[in-house]
Amino acid sequence: MPRSLHPLLLVVGLAACSKAPDTGEILPVPMPEPALYRVTFEATWSAGTHANFPAGAHFSNVIGASHAADGLLFRPGQAASLGIKDMAERGNNTALRAEIAALQRSGVAFRLLEAPYFYSPGMVADTIRLDAAHPRLSLVTMIAPSPDWFVALEAENLLDAKGQWVAQRRVPARAYDAGTDSGPTFTAPDQPTLPAGVVAPLQLPPAQGTAPDGPPLGTWLLERIK
């Protein structure tokens, strides 16, 4: 038997491996290339949307990461980390930035996003890269002033059912209580919750009328730009 195949036979063999045969066999879908997204937080929180709107209302520096399924920043129903506590109570991201760095070192987080604080209503935007191993995006920002309340984008998966990047998505900004301060109003003095509770959904009353879940404080707009 010859040591090398005829060039024509080699080409035919390679072609057979690159597409499904007539038997209907499904070949694996190629993994998508890394994607770059523009993330815009469009805050609508105002005196016209929610009751007891405080003076100087704003959101702290938005912080988060692209990550794998197990790279979550927080879990509803579980105690907040020090990073989530400091972010939600004081708008301080030092500890949370360190927690994200630890997730990056472990391989479950990919890239960090941190955008400036801004007054509400208003908006802020930044960009972040994701890849096939880290297709989810989580972001948090303090509702300020408040005892320990924050809004979040929770592990949003930007790969569609076919394993391809979505072009655009809008997600309501869900509000949470970090479970670390028992203050009942936006401007209540510090009232540490001892022992600390757990992260739980926060329902703020609307400015007028009734709404079972209350209007969202804003929207996350996620747009693929590369």
pLDDT for res 28: 62
User: What's the number of CA atoms in the CB half-sphere (13 Å) around residue 41?
Assistant: 33
Q: How confident is the model at residue 210 (pLDDT cuts 50, 70, 90)?
A: confident
pTM here?
0.86
Of 26-30, 150-154, 164-168, 216-220, give the lowest mean pLDDT range: 26-30
Using alpha carbons, select from 92, 58, 109, 71 the residue that is nearest to residue 180: 92
Q: Would you say residue 86 has pLDDT above 80?
A: yes
What domains sit in the chain, N to C, each tagged with a CATH number?
A: 31-224 (2.60.40.2130)
Q: Would you say residue 173 has pLDDT above 90?
A: yes
- The model's pLDDT over 94-127, given as tens digits with 9 standing for 90+, comes to 999 999 999 999 999 999 999 999 999 999 999 9
Of 9-23, 68-82, 133-147, 182-196, give the lowest mean pLDDT range: 9-23
**Rounded to whole angstroms, how far apart are CA atoms 203 and 144?**
15
Amino acid (1-letter code) at residue 13: G
Q: What is the mean pLDDT of the chain?
A: 90
- The model's pLDDT over 36-75, given as tens digits with 9 standing for 90+, comes to 999 999 999 999 999 999 999 999 999 999 999 999 999 9
